[in-house]
Amino acid sequence: MKKVDIYDTTLRDGSQREGVSLSVTDKLKIAQKLDDFGISYIEGGWPGSNPKDIEFFRRAKKVKFKNARICAFGSTRRPGIQAAEDNNIKALIEAGTDTVTIFGKSWDFHVHDALKTTLDENLDMIRDSISFLKLKGREVFFDAEHFFDGYKANPEFALATIEAAAKGGADVVILCDTNGGLMPWELVPILSAVKERIKTPLGIHTHDDAGMATANSLLAVKEGITQIHGTINGYGERCGNANLCTIIPNLGLKMGIESVTPEQLKGLTKLSRFIAELANIAPADQQPYVGYNAFAHKGGIHIDAVSKMPATYEHADPSEVGNKRRILVSELGGRSTITLKTHQNNFKLDKSRPETASVLQRIKEMEHYGYQFEGAEGSFELLILKMMKAYQPLFQLEGFRMIIEKREDGHMYSEATIKVRVGDVQVHTAAEGNGPVNALDNALRKALEGIYPALKEIKLTDFKVRVIDGVDGTGAQVRVFIETSDKEKTWGTVGVSPNIIEASWIALVDSIEYGLLCRKLPEFTEARDILEQLKGEGIS
């Protein structure tokens, strides 16, 4: 099998995305995750540009990497001085990495207008810098910055720059589409001209300003490129860099070209979300392969087909990249939606049974009203139980009252008074909160914790409100999503109403009931047995 090296530049190019600021500790954590995943080269940063990158390379020397080589990045020497005298070159040496990547200008426009030097001097800068680093025992990669734009403007000079790099002893010459405007049909003839001029191994470094970074990278591999540069999740300046989360699985699953092992590939989704978390960027749900929606199915015909044969509407097995198939319950689905969704939640519900039709009809009615069960598996499972007449609420609300007051000190004051009944026991209590929903949550917990002490382990972790249709202004329907966790799992619940307090109450009650039901408490043995029966033996 053909092998392609993956060169990750998330820690440098990726960190140039707006809103991303990685600490040295963050960068070290990411480097170790990339190494575990099987990345060949990890570009740690530019030691000649800032103290943070200098510190990264200092600390990285103490880390043992199993698969990857850490690379220091910098530029060629400045015009008019020797490479040994250039501070940037010195910083590359002091970084102590076995591999160094330097970039040089390959577009005459940049040489004249940015460097303010001659074309011949630029060629000397490339050759001299690489030769000096090779004499220091480094593996040297040369990034031919703006190569494709440079070639289109002045082919002979662009080719002369990579020839200078090859003569200097570069181990790999990387052709860069720095502005991200290259079209795939332009790539092949330019690569042919390059291969006629030099025999040095080639790499490619693309940006996504025209949406072609992945396509150009994969096409370059077909044309003989052996090293691909990119970033996890496509992070980078402007529109980002080539997305390794798309490129790597396409290489392995579509082209039969190994860049990581099949076992390592199964960690791709986890790697993508880990780096998104450290970068403090919400994962892109629509991202190919690793996105939350990459293998999500909502249409009834699609779901019915996927339940029988996944290849009908999936181009790849989600498990190959560590992702999961998701069945979205909606008004677009049929009985197969309910059947497959319940199977995914370990229920056995035959689509031929009349109960299945009742569940589907109820879900369609609720979604017409504004409900969505995507991500609200707690409410969905409770609905199944209630529709099967297999579950009764754990407590009854007799009433609650809210007081909201703005005081002289400028702070809002919220208090909830609540009455609930559990069996023959009535509990009447009150609690404050930083808002009406928080006060209601506190009051309900205060009422129930004496009867159900396990409730202390159940914590609300997220709360989202969505206006379903804004045309009604302040009278519009709102949908509330609540995420709740205990020490073992996390679940979502949903409530809908024109009144935000009522919508919150519905989602809140579901979150508590589902959490208590799932815990191994003697009070709920009968209800839990019914749940286990539906999930285990089934009713089909």
Whole-number average pLDDT of the chain: 87
> Residue 84 above 50 pLDDT?
yes
Q: Which two tokens stand for residue 212?
A: 């072609």
Do 125 and 229 fall within a single domain? Answer: yes
Residue 290 has pLDDT above 90, yes or no: yes
Quote the number of domains for the chain: 4
DSSP result, 15-73: GGSTT----HHHHHHHHHHHHHHT-SEEEEE-TTT-HHHHHHHHHHTTSPPSS-EEEEE
- My answer on whether 184 and 98 are in the same domain is yes
Rounded (to 5) percent helix, strand, coil in the chain: 45, 20, 35
What's the domain range around 525?
A: 370-391+452-540
Report, as an integer, the average pLDDT of 204-213. Answer: 98
Answer whether residue 46 shows pLDDT above 60: yes
Q: Inform me whether the pLDDT recorded for 539 exceeds 50.
A: no
Same domain assignment for residues 429 and 418: yes
- Euclidean distance between CA atoms 65 and 400, whole angstroms: 59
pTM: 0.70
Contact 11, 52 (CB under 8 A): no
Q: Which of 230, 255, 280 is the last residue of a domain?
A: 255
What's the pLDDT at 537? 39
Going by C-alpha positions, the residue among 77, 103, 87, 86 that lies closest to residue 13 is 103
Structure tokens at 483: 């995420």
pLDDT of 300 strictly over 70? no
Same domain flag for 328 and 361: yes
Q: Specify whether 301 is located in the same domain as 365.
A: yes
Contact between residue 525 and residue 531 where contact means Cβ atoms under 8 Å apart: no
Dist. CA 436–CA 495, nearest whole Å: 16
Which residue has better confidence, 407 or 102?
102
- pLDDT band of residue 489 (cuts 50, 70, 90) is confident
Dihedral of CA atoms 18, 49, 272, 260 in degrees, nearest 10, equals: 150
| Backbone conformation region of residue 219, classed left if phi is above 0, alpha if psi is from -120 to 50, else beta | alpha
Provide the CATH number for the domain around residue 524: 3.30.160.340
Q: In whole angstroms, what is the distance from residue 31 CA to residue 24 CA?
A: 10
Residues 359 and 504 in one domain: no
Taking each continuous run of H as one helix and of E as one strand, the counts in the chain are: 19, 16
- pLDDT grade, residue 370 (50/70/90)? confident
Whether 269 is covered by a domain: the verdict is no
Whether residues 159 and 131 fall in one domain: yes
Interatomic CA distance for residues 379 and 15, integer angstroms: 39
- Residue 386 pLDDT: 81
Pairing, β 425-433 against β 412-422? antiparallel
Chain Cα centroid distance, residue 26: 16
pLDDT, one tens digit per residue, over 56-69 is 999 999 999 999 99
In a domain, 50, yes or no: yes
Q: What pLDDT is attached to residue 349?
A: 52
Which region among 1-10, 326-335, 440-449, 456-465 has the lowest average model confidence (pLDDT)?
326-335
Give residue 232's pLDDT: 98
Q: Quickly list DSSP for 112-153.
A: IIII-S-HHHHHHHHHHHHHHHHHTT-EEEEEEETHHHHHHH
Mean pLDDT lowest among 2-11, 92-101, 110-119, 402-411? 402-411
Quote the tokens at residue 409. 């000190």
pLDDT at 244 exceeding the cut of 70 = yes
For β-strands 296-297 and 227-230, DSSP reports them as: unpaired
Mean pLDDT of 408-430: 88
Boundary residue ending a domain (255, 274, 308): 255
Does residue 538 carry a pLDDT above 50? Answer: no
H or E element at residue 417: strand 412-422
Asked whether residue 57 falls in the same domain as residue 203, the answer is yes
Take residue 260 and report the two structure tokens written for it: 């990581």
Q: Are 6 and 221 in contact (CB under 8 A)?
A: no
Of 198-212, 322-336, 429-443, 485-499, minimum mean pLDDT range: 322-336
